[in-house]
Amino acid sequence: MTPDPVDQARRLVCGRFPSALAMILAGSTAAGQATASSDLDIAVLIGDGGETCRETIRFEGRVVELFIHTRAGLVDLFAADVAARRAVLQSMYATGLVLVDTNGEGGRARALAEADLREGPPPLEPETVETKRYGLTDALDDLADAGDHIERFAVAGFALNAAADLLCDYQHAWIGSGKWLPRRLLEADAKLGAALLEAHRHLCKWGDPEPMINTASGILNLVGGPLREGYRRTWRGVIESVATASRR
């Protein structure tokens, strides 16, 4: 018989963090979508004398991702997540199951998380948008010309991420990576997001880049259009990739 993941989370935290101020069980388990092999995502708020860290362990045969933080550490992590435009930890606190809430600490942390999520991410700097436009334009040109299907798949992955990033910024929405990319993309713009994901699926299945080029070009047009000639950057002592240009 498979152990109940909520009970497992309680046993783990009570045994390892008996003085925890708050404990949030997030991820697929909190959403009621856990399988026998699903890991546990657990945020643990501890006293200010502790250490803020992230740790992966195995407990009762199940992989557990622990996000451990003090009050001050939580504030710092929330700020870092906002700056990165991801709000991963905020989503855990806002949507997870509160299993420990000492003196209302969990409720207060959830309120902070919900406030960040309502506010939304900071906008990209205009220079960063320009760099991302240039990178996506270049990728779409490569897609149109790519003769090698492996190269086409690789470029399509870059184009998907770049177009999603620009669309989320345009819609003042949080970004995501991995399995969170399509989720955040659809939250940002259900129609365009679905079209972009379908275009990427179509390319991967049939090798046809045309829908991907058309959909991503439409997103480019929302943020200033394609950018080729006229793009210029001054050397700042570090190599700034069009794939990883970040908010300054």
Alpha carbon distance 188, 182 (integer Å): 10
| Span 136-191, pLDDT tens digits | 999 999 999 988 999 999 999 999 999 999 999 999 999 999 999 999 999 999 99
Alpha carbon distance 23, 17 (integer Å): 9
How is the chain split into domains, by residue range? 5-119, 126-222
Alpha carbon distance 183, 233 (integer Å): 33
pLDDT band at 242 (very low <50, low <70, confident <90, very high): low
* More reliable by pLDDT, 36 or 48: 48
pLDDT at 234 over 90: no
3 state SS of 230 = strand
Alpha carbon distance 86, 237 (integer Å): 27
| Span 199-233, pLDDT tens digits | 999 999 999 999 999 999 999 999 999 999 988 88
Burial (CB count within 10 angstroms: exposed 0-12, middle 13-18, buried 19+), residue 105: buried
> Out of 3.30.2310.20, 3.30.460.10, 3.40.30.10, 3.50.50.60, which CATH number does the structure's domain 5-119 have?
3.30.460.10
Alpha carbon distance 48, 46 (integer Å): 7
The confidence score (pLDDT) of residue 237 equals 77
Amino acid identity for residue 106 in this structure: G
The confidence score (pLDDT) of residue 243 equals 60
- Percent of the chain at pLDDT > 70 equals 95
Query: What is this structure's pTM?
Result: 0.88
The confidence score (pLDDT) of residue 28 equals 83
Could you tell me which of 101, 212, 102 has the C-alpha nearest to residue 154? 212
